[in-house]
């Protein structure tokens, strides 16, 4: 079971308190109607799925309830860092 550092609670807590939230830094377009079908498909479904550093979202569901971002190595599962939503990509 992973230990995940919540950047809001500033504590490492067991994985069971968290919920995974998919790839990070995929912003909803301000006006989706301006998107072509291809652009919208990209936004909805196309993900980077890297081997190695992955920027991803987690929610401290059974804690403070906040969404935050993390960089995790998909090979080792080691968290490089976690940071608050809205902060620049690390």
The verdict on 86 binding other proteins (CB under 8 A) reads: yes
Instruction: Write down the least CB distance from residue 81 to other proteins, Å.
Output: 15
Instruction: Write down the least CB distance from residue 64 to Zn ion, Å.
Output: 3
Cα torsion angle, 57, 63, 66, 68, sign: negative
- How many residues of this chain bind Zn ion (CB under 5 A)? 6
How far apart, in Å, are the Cα atoms of 88 and each of 35, 53, 68?
A: 24, 16, 12
How far apart, in Å, are the Cα atoms of 72 and each of 14, 28, 29, 34, 40?
A: 15, 23, 25, 33, 27
Instruction: Write down the least CB distance from residue 11 to Zn ion, Å.
Output: 7
Alpha helices in the chain (DSSP H): 37-45
Question: Closer CB to other proteins, residue 9 or residue 61?
Answer: 61
Binding mask 10-49 for other proteins (x = CB under 8 A): -----x---x-x-----xx--xxx-x-x--xx-xx-----
The verdict on 59 binding Zn ion (CB under 5 A) reads: no
């Amino acid at each position: 079971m992973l230990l995940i550092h919540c950047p809001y609670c500033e504590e490492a807590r067991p994985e069971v308190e968290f919920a995974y939230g998919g790839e990070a830094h995929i912003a909803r377009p301000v006006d989706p109607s301006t998107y072509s079908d291809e652009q919208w498909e990209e936004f909805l479904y196309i993900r980077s799925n890297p081997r190695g550093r992955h920027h991803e979202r987690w929610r401290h569901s059974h804690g403070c309830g906040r969404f935050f971002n993390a960089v995790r190595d998909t090979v080792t599962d080691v968290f490089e860092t976690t940071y608050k939503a809205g902060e620049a990509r690390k």
